[in-house]
Amino acid sequence: MTKERILNIASEEFSKHGYSAVSMNSLVRRLEVNKATIYYHYKDKKALYHEVLKISLSESKANREKLLMGITDPKKRFHAFLKSFLQTIKEKPYIVGLWMHEVANFGSNMDESLTLIVEEMVLFLKELLDELPLKSEYKSCNPYMIFSIIHGTIDNFYAVQMSSLPINAQSSLKLNVDNTLNFLDGFLTDFILNAICQKESK
């Protein structure tokens, strides 16, 4: 039993059911192992959950660093930042459910080490915003607001499109990961930049 398999299964279970609804017994049944195997790697459920969250945040940071490499134009840098979240979802789709559960519980299961990673993301976003030609009313905008718009839109819209509910059922986006992420990439980047940035003089 590899640590990677434990993390993969735990990620799926936490994403689908949320932290409180997942027990070590349910993980044992899903993994078809005894508890000692899991406890060999993780002292308890919370330690396992924190590792799952930490990996998802680390994936997003790694994608951000890769996509931003060599880009100097402020708007393109903002686009790359936003795209890093979409790339992470493409690679690890369970992340959407995982974070939606955590947000719904007001972050009650996160520890300080995880909140520091989120703080670093928001601080990086603030630096990106400071590079942009912002409209005067947005020059002192709280970066958490923009961060929330990005994450809230991506997570909610993606969840609706990937659900089997008959919402937007005739759309080319429905149950199509690539189409949905590509749509979000273009729409959300343009929507935010057009809202907060000064118009370019012709």
The string of DSSP codes covering 52-97 is HHHHHHHHHHHHHHHHHTT---HHHHHHHHHHHHHHHHHH-THHHH
The span from the CA of 105 to the CA of 17, in Å, is: 12
Average pLDDT over residues 4-16: 93
pLDDT value for 202:
59
- For 190-197, the CB contacts below 8 A with 24+ separation are 192/78, 192/82, 192/146, 192/149, 192/150, 193/75, 193/78, 193/79, 193/132, 196/129, 196/132, 196/134, 196/135, 196/138, 196/141, 196/146, 197/75, 197/132, 197/133, 197/134, 197/135
* Average of per-residue pLDDT across 5-19: 94
Instruction: State the fold for domain 55-196.
Output: Tetracycline Repressor; domain 2 (1.10.357)
Q: What is the CA radius of gyration of the chain?
A: 19
Please report the pLDDT score of residue 183 as a whole number: 97
What 3-state DSSP class applies to 19?
coil
CB 93 within 8 A of CB 177: yes
pLDDT tens digits for 82-126?
999 999 999 999 999 999 999 999 989 988 889 999 999 999 999
Identify the pLDDT of residue 201.
67
Please report, rounded to a whole number, the percentage of residues in the chain having pLDDT higher than 70.
99
Q: Which helix (H) or strand (E) holds 40?
A: helix 35-41
Q: What is the mean pLDDT of the chain?
A: 93
Nearest-10 Cα torsion for 142, 144, 145, 150 = 140
Residue 163 pLDDT grade (very low, low, confident, very high; cuts 50, 70, 90):
very high
Tell which wins on pLDDT, 128 or 164. 128
Q: What is the pLDDT of residue 126?
A: 97
Region 154-181: mean pLDDT is 93
Average pLDDT value for residue range 134-157: 95
Q: So what's the pLDDT on residue 170?
A: 86
Q: In this predicted structure, what is the pLDDT of residue 46?
A: 94
Between CA 59 and CA 74 the distance in angstroms is 23
* pLDDT for 1 beyond 60: no
Task: Report pLDDT for 82.
Answer: 97
